[in-house]
Amino acid sequence: MEVIAEVLIFGFLISSLYALVSVGFSMIFGVAGVLNLAHGAMAMFAAYIASWAIMTFGLGFLPASILGVLGVALISPILYWVIIRPLGEKPVVVFLATLLLGVIFEQAMILAFGFNARVLPPIIKGGFIVFGDIRILYNRALAGAVAVILIGLLWLFITRTKYGKAIQGISMSTKGAALSGIPTHKIILLVWAISGALAAIAGLFSASFLGVSPLADREFTVIAFSTVVLGGLGSLPGSLLAAFIIGYVETITVQFAPEARGLASLAILIVVLILRPQGLFGRAHE
């Protein structure tokens, strides 16, 4: 029973962070049609910005993290406007461009900070929430709570606000949205900023209990890509469900075969591509 409880609790906590990364990835594909392979780099980059701010200016985790989130929320739409948008509707070229951007960020972090991993200080130091024999660090519990709150706020934003409805309109038809008077480029920039901010928050929390290295972006990108494919490209409900499926599969894998943790999402991705390439909530193509 204790093992089951651990899987349920820790699976939920890790899945909530995966969901933050995945919904942003899915939103970008939904409104811009871009499979952004630099998405994981944004999560990693935010952690390095925070680490730099802590070491250089002696900031605490919270102000340094705010700086990291704002930095990535600014950089993400700039990358879209300066690099991705001019490439036009060339899916393969855009796909390769985002891959190259991810590699550039990796190399830049290696040059600036070296290969060694860095661990950010927790926002809440010490202390545990205790459930029987299970102890959960306050920092990990806070990460799960923040992720759930942000996903809820994002859902309200998309379903209840003018900008959210514009995002829905663009995801259905960019040309139709433009003909309806929706400023499509501005909305797409907003989506890239939101997506970057969500990835940044996930990366910051992850770095506070797992650390971050220049190649950490690859894990985030694989998770995001796997969840979006499993859930259905462009489907936010599908991405959320898929994030929890992959999170729980990884948690179970860690319990019984820790060395195979990184293979779980890749295995799921391969199975889905073979059996149901449109994903759980995607549309089958005739």
Buried (b) or exposed (e) across 180-208, using 16+ Cβ within 10 A? eebebeebbbbbbbbbbbbbbbbbbbbbb
Whole-number Å distance between alpha carbons of 139 and 182: 41
* Cα angle for residues 11, 141, 259 (degrees, 5° grid): 40
Which three-class secondary structure state does DSSP give residue 35? coil
Predicted local confidence at residue 285, as pLDDT: 43
Residue 115 per-residue DSSP state: S
43: enclosing H helix or E strand: helix 39-57
Whole-number Å distance between alpha carbons of 44 and 218: 9
Each residue of 191-215: pLDDT tens digit?
A: 999 999 999 999 999 998 888 998 8
**Averaged in consecutive runs of 10 residues, what is the pLDDT profile of the chain (286 residues)?**
85 92 92 92 95 92 94 96 90 93 94 88 82 85 95 95 94 89 94 96 91 88 87 86 91 82 78 82 55
Which three-class secondary structure state does DSSP give residue 90? coil
Adjacent-strand bridge partners of 232: none
Predicted local confidence at residue 286, as pLDDT: 40
Q: What is the pTM of this model?
A: 0.92
Nearest to 50, CA basis, from 113, 102, 101: 113
269: enclosing H helix or E strand: helix 263-275
Adjacent-strand bridge partners of 187: none
**Is residue 28 a contact partner of residue 191, using CB atoms and an 8 Å limit?**
yes
Predicted local confidence at residue 165, as pLDDT: 94
Residue given tokens 């829905």 in the structure block: 168
Predicted local confidence at residue 284, as pLDDT: 47
